[in-house]
Structure 1
Amino acid sequence: TLGMMRFVFTRLALSGLVLLTFGCASALPAFNQPFTERVRLKSDDLTKLEVAVRGSASEPVAVPENGRILLSFPALPRECSVYLFGIRIRDRTVENRKIIHVYRDGRLERKLSIHKLRKLAIDPDGYYTLRIK
């Protein structure tokens, strides 16, 4: 009957809502320790490039002619990661946020996370090599 169907649907909907509510959690990670990374940018015209770390108080750094820069990462603001039944579904740790910004003539050219940066090739001097078209 229609009354029974409403009862069952209401119970199922409420059960699903309860599971989602109690199975979902936000977690604030610990502050990151300050660190630096060595990066070498490769591009046709390096003089037009600047690199900034989003969330830090420092201004964008102009890329020198050799393309090598030291990026300093202070203790950055934290953001909550989201977990559903203990499985992280949104990772907002410092390493996985796109906080490295590369600008060309003041326009944002590329965003990069620390995690992606650390997957790049390393030159013989220990610099991560980042190519900008």
Structure 2
Amino acid sequence: MKHFFLIILSLFFTAGSLAHPGGPITPPWPLSISTAPLDIETLPGEWVAYSHNTIWFLQIELNANGRGLAAIHIQSNAIRNHKVDGWLAPDQNALIGEILVDENRSQKIMIFKDKDGTKLRIAAGGNGYYDLKLYKREKGK
């Protein structure tokens, strides 16, 4: 009986570990996207996105300790206060973190790369989200 219980328990854990496709995506992010390797060293600097009838300006700064930790600053008319700050940490093929919307509310974010390019995903109400396709801003523009 003891061996039977151990076999059932091991099958349960094996099935549970195979149910999730092991990747950078964790809820509330959909499990159906396929990410490409993200080169963290190319992320620091200024980025721009065009979405929700406005322009989004992003500044990404890597932490000097070299572990891939980053700060993110976003400015846009689509944001209630027009400016938010947050943090990012590496998670396989993505950077995952949060932005502080106000003193009482934060939103999860993720920077990843797929077949269309580099994107910022921002969690919305419930399990919703929206993606911003990012374009590297060249100096002097």
TM-score normalized with structure 2 length: 0.32
Structure holding more strand per residue: 2
Larger radius of gyration: 1
TM-score normalized with structure 1 length: 0.34
For CA contacts below 8 A with separation 6 or more, give which structure has more relative contact order.
1
